[in-house]
Amino acid sequence: MRRLAREPLSLFLVLGGVLYGLDLAASVGATDADLESPPPIVVPAARVAALNAEAGGRVDLEAGIAAFAEEEAMLHEARRLGLDTSDLIVRRRLLQKMAFVVEDRVSVPEPDDTDLRAFLDRHAARYAEPPRTTVSHRFFSRARRGARAEADARAAITTPTATGDDFMAGARFVDATPADLARRFGDDAAATLATLPVSPDTWQGPVSSAFGWHTVRITARTSGGPPAFEAVRPRLRADWMANRREAAVAEVRRALAARHRIIVESPAPDARAARQP
C-alpha cells in the first residue's frame, strides 16, 4: 500500500476506479441531472466563523473549508447511492438521531403535588415499601461438614453456645428485604425465613440454603406497605415526567405517520404453497 501511494499513476487509477464504481452504482434510478449537475456545497457562515477562529492563517482556513467540502461531497454521494435508505446501519442511525430531535423538542410541564399523589395512587404497588427482617444466623457448611451439616445445625438449636462456620456474607442482617435475603441465602431459604415468627431469644430452623444449613433468630420484622409521600417524591417526579415524555413522544410519532399515505404491499405468494394441489 505504501508503494502504491508513492506511485502517482497507480494511485490515480485506483481513485478513478472508486469514483467510476460510485457513478455506476448511483446511475441506477438516478437522473442525468443528478449525475451531471450535483448541488452546490454551501459552507455556512457559522462554520466559516468557527474556522476563522480556529485557523492560524489563510492556509489553515482553506484547508478547513476543503475538509468541510469533502465531507459534504461524501454525504451527497452517500445519499445519491441510497445509503440513507438502503443501509440498515445508516437507517438505524437516522432513526436514533430523529428520536433525539423529537425528545429534545418535547416539553413536559412540571407536576404539582396533586399530579404526583394521583400518580402514586395509580402505581401504588411500584412504590410500596417491602417487608424488612432483622435476622441473625449460625451457618453449618455442607462443603465442610458433608452429611453431618444438617444434624449439627439441629443440635445447635438447643445449644446456645454452639458455633457454626464462617459465612462470607456475614452473621447478621438488619432490615433486610426479601430481595436482600434471596441474594444472600437463595430464593427457597428466603421464602422459608419469611414464614418464621419473630422470636428474639429463640433459635429456629434449621433452614436449608444452597450453601448448607442455618439456625436463625428473627429479632424484628416490619410488614411494609404504602410509603410516605415525601420520602418518594423525587422518584415520583422523575417517573411522572418520564411517563409524560414517553406519551408525548409517542403522540409525535403517530402525528408524523399520519401525515403520510400508508400503502401496504401484499407479500408474494409462497412458491412452495403454490405448487401444492
Tell me, what's the pLDDT at 208? 93
Specify the amino acid at residue 253.
Answer: R
Structure confidence at residue 15 (pLDDT): 41
Q: What share of the chain is helix, strand, coil (3-state, %, to 5)?
A: 60, 10, 30
Tally the domains of the chain.
Answer: 3
Whole-angstrom Cα distance, residue 52 to residue 58? 9
Backbone angles phi, psi at 79, to 5 degrees: -65, -35
In this structure, the answer to whether residues 206 and 235 fall within a common structural domain is no
The answer to whether residue 267 is domain-embedded is no
Whether 91 maps to a domain, the answer reads yes
Do 54 and 149 reside in the same domain of the chain? no
Identify whether residues 202 and 233 lie together within a single domain: no
pLDDT band with cut points at 50, 70 and 90 for residue 16: very low
Question: Do both 135 and 47 map to the same domain?
Answer: no
Instruction: Judge if 88 and 162 occupy the same domain.
Output: no
What integer is the mean pLDDT of 163-182?
Answer: 91
Task: Please report whether residue 273 resides in a domain.
Answer: no
Residue whose C-alpha is closest to residue 188's, from 169, 213, 222, 168: 213
Q: How many residues does the chain have?
A: 277
**Do 117 and 252 share a domain, yes or no?**
yes
118 and 166 share one domain: no
pLDDT at position 35, please? Answer: 52
Q: Are 153 and 140 in contact (CB under 8 A)?
A: yes
pLDDT at 43 exceeding the cut of 90: no
The reply to whether 120 and 232 lie within a common domain is: yes
Banded pLDDT at 210 (limits 50, 70, 90): confident
Domain coverage including residue 8: 2-105
Sheet holding 212-222, edge to edge: 172-176, 132-141, 212-222, 204-208
Give the model's pLDDT for residue 264: 73
CA–CA distances in Å: residue 3 to residues 6, 10, 12, 39, 206 = 5, 10, 13, 36, 78
The answer to whether position 153 is within a domain reads yes
Above 70 in pLDDT, residue 20? no
In this structure, the answer to whether residues 94 and 185 fall within a common structural domain is: no
Please indicate, yes or no, whether residues 202 and 236 belong to a single structural domain of this protein: no
Domain identity same for 120 and 193: no
Whether residue 205 sits in one domain with residue 93: no
- Per residue in 185-208, pLDDT (tens digit) is 999 999 999 999 998 889 998 999
What CATH number is associated with residue 185? 3.10.50.40
